[in-house]
Chain A
Amino acid sequence: MVTHSLLPTIAVVLPIAISPFIFLIGRRSAYLRDGLAVGSLTISFVAILLMAPEVLSGKILESIVVSEQAAPLPISFKVSYFGEIVAIISSFVWVLATIYSIEYMSDEHSKERYYSFLVLTGGSMYGIVLAKNLFALYIFFELMSVVSYVLVIHEETEEALVAGKKYLFMCIGFGLLLFLSIILTYIGTGRLDFSSVPIFTEFYKKFMIVSPKTSLTILFFTYIFGFGTKAGLVPVHIWLPDAHPIAPSPASALLSGVMIKAGAYGIIRTIYNVFGPQLVQELGVNIVLSCIGVLTIFLGAAVAISQTEIKRRLAYSSINQIGYVVLGAAFLTKDGLTGAILHIFNHGLMKGVLFLCAGAIIYKTGLREIEDLKGIGKKMPITMICFTIGALSMMGIPPLCGFISKWILVLGALEAGVTILVGFAGIFLLSAIMDAVYYFPIIRSAFFEEPIDGDTTNQDPSIIMLAPLILLASGIIIFGIFPQIPLSFAEPAAEVLLGGF
């Protein structure tokens, strides 16, 4: 049942439209600037939440921003289960990171630029996950890629600028690859919309240079790497460990916790809506993709272990975790996909809280090296408890939410039926150990060693910074104990994507 609704448009267009005003007003009044930023993102968040009951009741919400009378293809929204759950977690973390920024950024320069781009990026992120067709998705995807550059290089240090340059060229370059794939798809099939019928079921052989099978295989991977760059898929991840940690911590939390999912979202849409599970299986590309996923998991974890700086370790951990999502999606099973979607949600909470905690430590003490963090749990107990909850959840310890998604992912692997894929179930277990290797030492030395300077006065930040941490950490616990809440979206989303509609 299709219902027209203004809510998706409000959620996406409002922040984008307000962002220039934040820039202009920001020079005059700090209060108005912060208020507009938090306010517009909160309205978006509320709009997205209001859509949830409608989506759960089976309604399909649609709205048009630019109709096909005014654009080459319509820029419009259609709220699916899948889009809705990613939008909820994105907008939730976004609002919290923005509130957190109010204190974190208080001594920083160019704040009006920071807030206005933070809000603009937020709007485009929601646009990606709510888009009705690939054309609209691509427009918001590129918009987000380009404007988040400003967040990456915010510090304007030599290091930040080098990282930004790498980011920009990688993302624009692979964005062009994505553009090419979309153009080829459009010319080949005449449609770009997401529906229960995958785009490549009726396929005209107009532009085939090589055999249809080969060209479809190539096209599949141009899509995967086009989206995968943003997601940090190996081997196109190389920009990520430089760019994510160098941004201000709230922006790192968003880049690593949320924006990385735009890539994962695109990959899942590619598999299930552009090619369709059947075609993917016929082409056999899911095996290759799951191997890429495994590689991403191992490389991310292995390099994370060797990092000595806390934010860099977290960034590599994101690469590791996005591997789970891609692997889960590549199984082509209901549990695998449910696990992948759930992990998008859970990882948003976990990586959000971890980066924000790291930011709180840096803000209060200026320490970035892990070995300097001895006894930090005694100085900043609340912060470190939140960090610990996030880290334990990352390791997959019950009853935290990370456990649930990994559990379902293992089920998905077992369900896959192909020997090699079933074998990948072991990967999750192995990787959990690796996660423990790189998170556990931080927790241990924070709580069980004495601070280097012997100073144990309480240095927890103010409530503005603590509240987002506590909220995210409690989310991790709540959704670990009551996984039905996100699962009520993730499960039907997986069913819809798998083609039963």
Chain B
Amino acid sequence: MPATDIRPLLAVLVGFIACVVILIVGEKNRDIREGITFGAAISKFLILISLFPLVYEGGKYLFTTPELLPGISLSFMADPFSLFFSTLSSMLWIVTTMFSIGYMRGLHEHKQTRYYAAFAACIGATIGIANSANLFTLFVFYEILTVATYPLVIHDEDEESLAAGRKYLAYTLTGGIFILFSLVLTYDIAGTLNFANTGLLSASMASPLLLKLLFATFIIGFGVKAAIMPLHSWLPSVMVAPTPVSALLHCVAVVKAGTFGIIRVVNNVYGIELMGDLGLGLPLVIVASITIIISMLIALTKDHLKARLAYSTINELSYIVLGAGLLTEFGVTGSMVHIANHAFMKIGMFFFAGTVFVATGKEYISEMDGIGKRMPISTLVFSIGAIALTGTPPLVGFISKWYLALGAIQSPHPVFVGVLLASALLNVAVFWPIIYKAFFKEPEVKRRPKVSLWLMIPMVFASFGTIVLGLFPRFPYTPLELAFRAVRLFLGG
């Protein structure tokens, strides 16, 4: 019996309240405004942390608002997987806020109030997605997230960013329609939208063909934000947004909301058993594998650092989808833990891109010769992230690779482990030239730019996570332990 508690909802509301307060405080009191962001981020994080002990012991929190339609209501919960995603997002919001202050003030950006307000709303929506107890609630916040991100994408308000914004909305809103359609169909078939540990659908509810079609529409819907090829092309475009947005939203919150949705659909809507009976794992794995390889090949050709990172994100997101499609204990665990591991690795790399831009104004890899000699610590953070992405021990990427590979071999299709290995090698090809140029070529300008602590601390934090979670992945309350607990529930144990 889940405990009734308002905290899962409270964590969501904090973001939206902060959004309104930030708008009221405005540009004149910018220190207070940023203070509010910090306050909201920290209090959100603490609320979520307070939910940990019970959930960790196998309990669950639930909060349901009055029904809108029979069986449909906005309801919020905290189970291991939701806490996994919400805690991660809110924790990284704290560090990203620090980075935002350094970045936005360093570049004297305009309309910072809008920026911080939209950011708070985005995180509110992300926590809403994470804590939703049914598909309907998830969908509502999923759409809010789409809209709230728009002002951040078009922040520069120039031709390029407005075009990116249009493209972004066209892709994600279309994806939303697919989800809405699937939602209605699911409600029609099952009569409920509440997530169940081992899946709310069962084979007796509808014909296998219908269930397969429904799954396809779900995947197309969530696949847009998860940037599965060929639905990915919005992601490189929105890299025009300020770098903190790319760092938190386009590498953690927004894109992983898509993969979060896919994992929920696979495990809590269909359930691993039904997925296996319908043979739905294999197509998902194939699509993900194609994305993994092709995205890396495209990344090789990109000279714009953030574009290369974007394609690498597409690559890593499909690791998550691949793991989910393996339908084995280790596969799903690896997929889930990769949400957190990728966040730590990649956010540091985006922070590096942002720091270089603030300090030197450079965005292209070909301009970054010798940057490691001018900004050693920042470049080291980038390098640690890149080395981790290739899965080198003892960094976090290795932990993901370990479980995903185990999962692949456990599954009926062990050949897909080859995709993981090929991708690891491609990662070296994509990132090694950058590290090499950064450290071993001579810079044009020798001067060492000053990097403010606002930028430095978040970067070092990301590296710290990359190393510590790689060395001690199974300490209590680490993402891996939560993932194990979540998967145990999904397997019905």
- Are B425 and A172 in contact, CB atoms less than 8 angstroms apart? yes
A148 CB, min distance to chain B CBs, angstroms: 13
CA distance A209 to B409 in the complex (A): 11
A170 CB, min distance to chain B CBs, angstroms: 11
Interface centre among A69, A70, A75, A143 (most CB of B within 10 A): A70
- Are A186 and B428 in contact, CB atoms less than 8 angstroms apart? no
A176 contacts across to B, CB distance below 8 A: 421, 424-425
B65 CB, min distance to chain A CBs, angstroms: 40
What are the interface flags for B394-408 relative to A under an 8 Å C-beta threshold, 1 for contact and 0 otherwise?
100011011101100
A69 contacts across to B, CB distance below 8 A: 474-475
A209 contacts across to B, CB distance below 8 A: 414
B391 contacts across to A, CB distance below 8 A: 179
- Are B393 and A143 in contact, CB atoms less than 8 angstroms apart? yes
- Are B425 and A70 in contact, CB atoms less than 8 angstroms apart? no
- Are A142 and B393 in contact, CB atoms less than 8 angstroms apart? yes
What are the interface flags for A433-470 relative to B under an 8 Å C-beta threshold, 1 for contact and 0 otherwise?
00000000000000000000000000000000000000
B43 contacts across to A, CB distance below 8 A: none
Name the one of A71, A165, A177 contacting B474, with C-beta atoms under 8 angstroms: A71
Which chain B residue has the least Cβ–Cβ distance from A183? B405
User: Would you call B73 an interface residue if the criterion is a C-beta within 8 Å of the partner chain's C-beta atoms?
Assistant: no
B238 CB, min distance to chain A CBs, angstroms: 32
Which chain A residue has the least Cβ–Cβ distance from B376? A23
- Are B392 and A71 in contact, CB atoms less than 8 angstroms apart? no
User: Would you call B169 an interface residue if the criterion is a C-beta within 8 Å of the partner chain's C-beta atoms?
Assistant: no
Name the one of B387, B421, B428, B474 contacting A72, with C-beta atoms under 8 angstroms: B474
User: Would you call A187 an interface residue if the criterion is a C-beta within 8 Å of the partner chain's C-beta atoms?
Assistant: yes
User: Would you call A481 an interface residue if the criterion is a C-beta within 8 Å of the partner chain's C-beta atoms?
Assistant: no
CA distance A487 to B55 in the complex (A): 58
A186 contacts across to B, CB distance below 8 A: 406
User: Would you call A173 an interface residue if the criterion is a C-beta within 8 Å of the partner chain's C-beta atoms?
Assistant: yes
Known interface pairs A138-B393, A139-B393, A172-B390; A187-B409 also in contact (CB < 8 Å): yes
CA distance A349 to B424 in the complex (A): 37
Decide if the interface of chain A is mainly helix, strand, loop or mixed.
helix
CA distance A143 to B390 in the complex (A): 12
Interface residues in A147-182 by Cβ distance below 8 A to B read 153, 156, 161, 165, 168-169, 172-173, 176-177, 179-180
- Are A168 and B428 in contact, CB atoms less than 8 angstroms apart? yes
Name the one of A66, A72, A75, A161 contacting B440, with C-beta atoms under 8 angstroms: A161
User: Would you call B473 an interface residue if the criterion is a C-beta within 8 Å of the partner chain's C-beta atoms?
Assistant: yes
- Are B473 and A70 in contact, CB atoms less than 8 angstroms apart? yes
- Are A180 and B405 in contact, CB atoms less than 8 angstroms apart? yes
A187 contacts across to B, CB distance below 8 A: 406, 409-410
A105 contacts across to B, CB distance below 8 A: none
CA distance A138 to B429 in the complex (A): 22
Name the one of A66, A143, A165 contacting B472, with C-beta atoms under 8 angstroms: A66
- Are A72 and B393 in contact, CB atoms less than 8 angstroms apart? no
User: Would you call A31 an interface residue if the criterion is a C-beta within 8 Å of the partner chain's C-beta atoms?
Assistant: no
- Are B472 and A70 in contact, CB atoms less than 8 angstroms apart? yes
CA distance A29 to B87 in the complex (A): 43
CA distance A234 to B103 in the complex (A): 52
- Are A139 and B474 in contact, CB atoms less than 8 angstroms apart? no
CA distance A308 to B425 in the complex (A): 35
Which chain A residue has the least Cβ–Cβ distance from B471? A66
B residues with a Cβ closer than 8 A to A are 387, 390-394, 398-399, 401-403, 405-406, 409-410, 414, 417, 421, 424-425, 428-429, 432, 436, 440, 471-475
A69-B474, A70-B473, A207-B409 known, 15 other contacts, Cβ within 8 Å: A69-B475, A72-B399, A72-B474, A75-B394, A142-B393, A146-B392, A165-B432, A168-B428, A169-B425, A173-B425, A179-B401, A183-B402, A183-B405, A183-B406, A184-B409
The 3 residue pairs across chains A and B that have the minimum distance between CB atoms: A139-B393, A70-B472, A176-B421
6 residue pairs bridging A and B, Cβ less than 8 Å apart: A71-B474, A142-B392, A143-B393, A165-B436, A177-B421, A183-B405
